Amino acid sequence: MAIFNNRLTAEQYKEYFSDIHPPFETRDAALVEANRCLFCYDAPCTKSCPTGINVPKFIKQITTDNIKGSAHTILSSNIMGGGCSKVCPVEKLCEGACVFNLMDEEAIPIAKLQRYSTEKAIAEKWPLFTRKASIGKKVAIVGAGPAGLSCAHTLSREGVDVTIFEKENKGGGLMTFGIAAYKVTPEFCADEVNYILSLGGIDVKYNHELGKDISLEQLLKDFDAVFLGFGVGIARQLQIRGEELSGVVDAIGFIYAIRTKGYPSVAVGDKVAVIGLGMTAIDAATQAKRLGAKEVTLIYRRTQEEMPCTEEELNIAKLDGCEIIWLASPKKLIGNNGKLTQLECSKMILGEPDASGRRSPVATNETIVLDVDMVIKAAGQIPFENLIGETQLNNAGGKIVIDIESATNITGVFAGGDCVNGGKEVVDAVQAGKDGAASIMRFISFSRKGAK
Ligand code: SF4
C-alpha cells in the first residue's frame, strides 16, 4: 500500500473528471424538454427554489428561442444560476417538486435547461444587467463566495460602490474550491466570477483575509456598511488516537488540492477510507477513486435513512465503485513508523432521536478493522470561532447571529451564508447575499437622510 500521485494517463484524468451532467447536444433536444413543461400556475418548482427563480417563465422563453430573456429571468433571481445548474441538489429542490413526479413521469430537467441558457450568457458575455449611476455609498464585503458575489452584484446594480475582500487569490468560494471537479470545472467557475464582476462597480481585493490583512473595525471606518460572507472552512477533527499519522487528511484540503493543483499532482492512497456521508464526503470519495485509488470505503455512523447526502449523490459513489459501511464510527487510527496502516471502527446501533430528529448512533463493544493507507475526514466543518470571537460579533458556537434584516449586533455590519447557517447549499448562500443587499440598501438609504 502506498500514497502517490500521477497514477493515470492524461486521457484517463480527462475522461474520469469530465462533466457528469453533459449539456443538451442540440437545440432541438432542449426544445423537446422545454415543450414538455406544463407552465404551472403557482409553480411548485419555483416555490422550492431558495432564490425563487421563475422556472415556467424561463422555460417558456426557451421554447420561443428567447435565450437572452431566459438567462435574464434566471440570473436576475440567482446571479450564480449557471453554477447552481451544475451543483444544486435539484432532486430535493426544483426537480423534486415538479408536478411530473406526481404522475410517475420524469421531472422536467430544469437544471439542464437552466444550464442551456446561462452557459450561453456567460460564454458569450451577454451584458444582461446595467449598473445605476453611483449613489456615493461604499460597501465592503468579506468573502467572494456565492453570498458575497450575490450581495455585491445586487448592490452594484443599485449604484453602490462595492469592494470585496477575499482571502484566496480567486473568487467563487465553495464553488471554486470545494466541489468535485466533474460537477463544475475551475475554468467555468472563473468565467462565472468574471461574468458577475463585468457589471462594474465591484473591486475585488484578493489575498486579503479578515483578522490578518483587514479588520472589521477599519472596514467600518472606511465604508458605509459591511457584509460578512466568509463561509465556514475548518474541518471537524475526529478527536481519536492516531489523527496525526501521515496519510490522514481532511476532505476540504483534499478537494482544494484537486481544484487548485491539477489532478496529476494530487496524491492518493491505494486503500482509502472516507469518514462521513455528506456531499463533501461523497465528493472526496468519488474523486479519490477517479484519481486512481484501488479501494475507497465510506464510513457512516448511521443508516441510509439518516444519511445527509441525497440518493443521487450516493448512487454516484456506488457507480464509481466506492463501498459503504453503515453503522460504523472511527475509534482509532493505527500506524507504523508514523504512517497510517489501519482504521479501527466501533460498530454502532441506533438509539433515541437527537436534536436533529435523527436516531443517534450508540457505540457497541464490537469493532471492525480496515487496512488503509489514507483516511479522508469529512465529518463536517466548524465555523471560524476564533475569528468571530475577536470581532465582538454575537454568535452561537461560532455561527454569526443575525436578525430578520440580516443585521448583526454591530450597527452597519450584516452577514449571510455559511458563516451564519453553518453550511448549506450554494443556492442558499446566493439568496442570503440578496437578502443582505436588500437590508444594506435600506440601511444606507436611511443613513443618506442623515439618520445613521
Ligand atoms: Fe414545468 Fe414541472 Fe415547474 Fe410545472 S412544476 S412549471 S411542469 S418544471
Q: Where are the domains of the chain?
A: 35-123, 138-232+383-451, 235-381
What letter represents residue 437's amino acid?
A: A
Interval between CA 126 and ligand 1 midpoint (Å): 27
Q: How confident is residue 354, by pLDDT bands cut at 50, 70 and 90? A: confident
End-to-end CA distance of the chain: 64
Contact criterion met (CB below 8 Å) for 254 and 378: no
Beta-sheet pairing, 248-250 with 374-377: parallel
| Burial (Cβ within 10 Å: 0-12, 13-18, ≥19) of residue 376 | buried
- In testing the pocket of ligand 1, which one of 32, 38, 39 has its CB within 8 Å of the most ligand atoms? 38
Q: Residue 180 corresponds to which amino acid?
A: A
CATH homologous superfamily of 235-381 equals FAD/NAD(P)-binding domain (3.50.50.60)
The percent of residues above 90 in pLDDT, for the chain, comes to 89
431 phi and psi angles, rounded to 5 deg: -65, -40
Q: Say which residue, 388 or 179, is predicted with more confidence.
A: 179
CA of 142 to the centre of ligand 1 (A): 37
- CA 110 to ligand 1: nearest atom: 8
Note whether 35-123 and 138-232+383-451 share their fold: no
What is the distance in A from the centroid of ligand 1 to the CA of 86? Answer: 19
How far, in Å, from the CA of 95 to the mean position of ligand 1? Answer: 8
* Cα separation, 54 vs 142, whole angstroms: 29
Q: Is the pLDDT of residue 243 over 90?
A: yes
Q: CA 274 to CA 272: how far, in whole Å?
A: 7
CA 15 – ligand 1 centroid, Å: 33
**In this predicted model, what pLDDT tens digit does every residue of 105-143 receive, in sequence order?**
999 999 999 999 999 999 999 999 999 999 999 999 999
pLDDT at 92: 92
- Strand residues in 89-212 grouped as ranges (E): 138-142, 161-165, 202-205
Task: Please give the share of the chain, as a percent, with pLDDT higher than 70.
Answer: 99
Ligand 1: distance of its center to the CA of 34 in Å? 10
- The 8-class DSSP code of residue 169 comes to S
Residue closest to 174 by CA, chosen among 156, 186, 191: 186
Q: Which of 283, 378, 254 is nearest to 5 (CA)?
A: 254
CB 163 within 8 A of CB 448: no
Q: Is 120 helix (H, G, I), strand (E, B) or coil?
A: helix
Ligand 1 probe mutation, 35, 99, 110, most atoms within 8 A of CB: 99
pLDDT reported for residue 373: 97
Name the architecture of domain 138-232+383-451. 3-Layer(bba) Sandwich (3.50)
CA 183 / ligand 1 centre spacing (Å):
24
Number of CB atoms found within 10 A of residue 185's CB: 15
| pLDDT tens, residue by residue, 301-313 | 999 999 999 999 9
pLDDT of residue 448 exceeding 70, the answer is no
Pocket of ligand 1 (CB under 6 A): 37-40, 43-45, 55-56, 98-100, 108, 110
**Which residue is listed with cell 418548482?**
45
What pLDDT sits at residue 33? 98
Q: Provide mean pLDDT across the span 378-389.
A: 82
What one-character DSSP code corresponds to residue 367? E
CA separation for the pair 334, 273 (Å, rounded) = 13
Give the bridge partners for 359, in sequence order.
Answer: 353
How does the average pLDDT of the chain come out, rounded?
Answer: 95
**Which residues on adjacent β-strands are paired with residue 362?**
349
Atom of ligand 1 nearest to the CA of 38: 7
Question: Which atom of ligand 1 lies at the shortest distance from residue 39's CA?
Answer: 6
Are 420 and 384 in contact by the 8 Å Cβ rule? The answer is no
| Enclosing H/E stretch for 286 | helix 279-290
35-123 has which fold?
Answer: Fumarate Reductase Iron-sulfur Protein; Chain B, domain 2 (1.10.1060)
pTM score, whole prediction: 0.93
Atom of ligand 1 nearest to the CA of 36: 7
CA–centroid distance, residue 111 to ligand 1 (Å)? 12
Mutate to test the pocket of ligand 1, among 41, 57, 94, 98 (most ligand atoms within 8 A of CB): 98
Nearest atom within ligand 1 for CA of residue 107: 2
Confidence of residue 451 (pLDDT cuts 50, 70, 90): very low
If one residue of 100, 106, 112 were mutated to test the ligand 1 pocket, choosing by the most ligand atoms within 8 A of its CB, it would be 100
For residue 408, what pLDDT is reported?
97
Atom 2 (ligand 1) nearest CA: 98
d(CA 71, ligand 1 centre) in Å: 17
pLDDT at 207: 97
Nearest atom of ligand 1 to the alpha carbon of 46: 3
Ligand 1 centroid, distance to 304 Cα (angstroms): 29
